[in-house]
Amino acid sequence: MRGRGGPGLRGGNPVWSHVNCHIDLWIELLHGLELPPVAALPCAVRQDFEADHFTQCRFPVADLERLYGLTSHALTLYDSLESHVAAQTARGHLVVLELDSSQLPPPPGAGYQRHRTPTCIAVDVLIPEAGAVGYYHTDGYHTASGEDYAAIFRLAPGARSAETLPFVHADVVRRDGRLRGREPLLDASLALLRTHLGNRPQQNPVTQFRAAFPAHLERLMARGELGFHHYASGVLRQLGANFELLARYLRWLVMQGQDVPEKAAEACYTMASEAMVMQFRLMRAVISRKPDRCEDCLDQLEASYQASVPALARHFGEYAP
């Protein structure tokens, strides 16, 4: 691995070291392209509670095009995955692949192929004749060859061939070469903020989560430790990490000379830390088999949300959907 992607938005001792495979990848990829990913974070204000999980933060394709001149379209697969990716990277494009984490080389200190989870990589260099590939992942820029290369493209003996895999998804990312200056980028980001504020939840999503939580807690206690990790990842991490990103966006706006509502960023950081506290308390409850309704955590989260997104809408205004 080489540090081409940089530390992204995870520097400075964050509360949540990872968000989700999509955001983590794009933070590294944009850094690698020498583009500031922080400008794309207005979408965080749209997070809602979806009855069983919080909306997973993703950079909308339209936002990436408006801010950075990046366009994306699905890659049609009819031949081997290797040949398609080689054709696109040879044209100077990047290919974002959704795959199983077991196909990637293990991170330092981890058991090889120990945990199987969906993940994403962005390939910018592929040399088929050398069996070598370079790609962005959640923690930087990596290269793979030999058996690791074969695992990524399903070329290992006995593996299903890439062209027969029914669930492979790939997107081609094209760069138009236009670089925006500081002012146009800031203006575009603020315009996106107003647009996303116009599409924000009309009710406090934490209030909706609170109403559903007793049933969640009952299921968690019944399932035990086995089901806790997935629940925490889909609910508490998505909530906390999303608002930590929003806090960093507001801090960036201040650094750009923008007036931001007093205490709005503080409220976002409170949500990030309180979601982590709630996660630890629920883990302890599941292990000890003693239910914890986390009422004080929910109080803090509910009040902090009101001090963040609604306050931003009042301050910046909004574009109606």
Q: What is the per-residue DSSP string for 172-229?
A: EEEE------HHHHHHHHHHHHHHHHHTS-SS-HHHHHHHHHHHHHHHHHHHTHHHHH
The pLDDT, as a whole number, for residue 9 is 61
Strand order in the sheet with 70-74: 70-74, 169-175, 94-100, 118-127, 132-137, 140-145
The pLDDT, as a whole number, for residue 193 is 97
φ, ψ dihedrals at 96, nearest 5°: -95, 120
Q: List residues bridging with 145 in a β-sheet.
A: 132
CA 68 – CA 36 distance, rounded (Å): 9
Q: Which of 72, 16, 71, 68 is nearest to 44 (CA)?
A: 16
The pLDDT, as a whole number, for residue 112 is 40
Q: Tell me the mean pLDDT per 10 residues along the chain, length 321.
A: 47 86 94 94 98 94 94 91 95 93 72 64 96 92 93 74 60 78 85 96 97 96 88 95 97 96 96 98 95 97 98 89 61
* CA dist 234 → 4, 53, 229, 280 (Å): 29, 6, 9, 15
The pLDDT, as a whole number, for residue 120 is 92
The pLDDT, as a whole number, for residue 320 is 66
Q: Where are the domains of the chain?
A: 3-34+70-175, 182-316
Global pTM value = 0.90
The pLDDT, as a whole number, for residue 244 is 97
Would you say 79 and 87 are in contact if contact means Cβ atoms under 8 Å apart?
no
CA 194 – CA 228 distance, rounded (Å): 36
CA torsion sign, 174 to 180 to 182 to 186? negative
The pLDDT, as a whole number, for residue 5 is 40
